Structure 1
Amino acid sequence: MGSSTAIFWPVIVQVALIHLVYFLLFSRRQAAVKAGRVRLSQLRDNVTEPEETRFLRNNLTNQFELPVLFIAGCIALYATGNAGPVAVALAWLFVASRLVHAFIHLTRHHHMRYRVPAFIAGYALNGLLWLWLAVNLAIV
């Protein structure tokens, strides 16, 4: 089948999303502290962190859950020579689902009605990516 370095472009976009969330969290925390709405000590944990920055922190936590499995899967697909067109398409679809999920979360539209389908789509696509790897490894 052959491996394509194209599998790394969706990974790069996912990593860029993680950096964006870090930037937004740092910027909003800094602004809240400067404006006196938040004490620095409140930012130590999720329990005392105010809502205006907690949703960003929660989103950042989300970026180190399912996306970690995605990144590992992409590396495994490439390393085993299975990063062909199907794998690349699944990777792009996964990243699209994560972008939608993050947009909903970061714009504070916390309606589970919208976030849950985006999460389920990403979860399913990640599962398919790993299934694709397993099937291809079993065939070889």
Structure 2
Amino acid sequence: MNNEMIFLPVLANILLVFGIYAYMGKAKSRAVKQGSVDKKVAALNSKAWPENVVKISNNLDNQFESPILFYVLSIVYYLTNNVTDILILTMAVYVITRYLHSYVHMTSNYVPYRFKLFVLGVLILLGSSVWLAIKIITQ
């Protein structure tokens, strides 16, 4: 097993964040060009942007919540030499939940779907955390 493979899901999640930044930049630029935002107010209040921009901004904020646990877990698994094919697959599924969560958040923002995706991702992280604790304790 190549331990470095754990960083493929990490890089995929990082690409999601950069994609959201680009999408938000495009949405903000469009809002400014259309005159649908007061730039002076929006400079001090992120909620002053049109709804579509606020949804993107809120989703970007979400990328620095539970994904931090994902990044830390990935590094700890790597450093403790506990990376397995199943772990990589599990972390890839976590990243897929983040992509789907972002899609729902930035489009329909239908909370029941968004919440289910969030919970699935958090449960994956919880399970991965418990599994790592067991591996470290029993080594």
Same-fold call, TM cutoff 0.5: yes
Could you say which residue in structure 2 is the equivalent of 1:29? 28
CA distance in 2, matches of 1:3, 1:76: 15
The separation in 2 between residues aligned to 1:119 and 1:15, in whole angstroms, is 17
Structure 1: where are the runs of 5+ without partners?
none
Higher mean displacement: 55-64 or 37-46: 37-46
How far apart, CA to CA, are the structure 2 residues paired with 1:43 and 1:124? Answer: 37
Q: Kindly indicate whether residue 82 of structure 2 is the aligned counterpart of residue 82 of structure 1.
A: yes
What is aligned with 1:57? Answer: 57
Write the distance in 1 (CA, Å) between the matches of 2:44 and 2:84. 43
Note if contact 1:66-1:123 (Cα within 8 Å) is conserved in structure 2: yes
Judging by fraction of residues, say which structure has more helix: 2
| Equivalences, count | 138
Q: Which runs of 4+ in 1 moved over 6 A?
A: none
43-52 vs 5-14, greater mean Cα deviation:
43-52
Distance 2:88 2:11 in 1: 13
SS at match of 1:47: helix
Q: Which structure is higher in RCO with an 8 Å CA cutoff and minimum separation 6? A: 1
Residues 1-140 of structure 1 mapped to structure 2, 5 A cutoff: 4-41=3-40, 42-106=42-106, 108-140=107-139
Counterpart amino acid of 1:85?
Answer: D
Contact 1:90/1:125 (CA < 8 Å) preserved in 2? yes
Indicate the RMSD between aligned Cα atoms, in angstroms: 1.4
Distance 2:45 2:133 in 1: 39
2:16 maps to amino acid: L
Code of the residue aligned with 1:15 in structure 2: it is I
Question: In structure 2, what is the Cα distance between the partners aligned to 1:55 and 1:45?
Answer: 14
Residues 56-76 of structure 1: CA deviation (Å, up to 9, x unaligned): 000000001011110111011
Corresponding residue SS for 1:105: helix
**d(CA) in 2 for partners of 1:35, 1:46:** 17
C-alpha distance in structure 2 between counterparts of 1:75 and 1:18, whole Å: 18
Moved more, 86-95 or 20-29: 86-95
Distance 2:47 2:91 in 1: 34
Q: Is the 8 A contact 1:43 1:49 kept in 2?
A: no
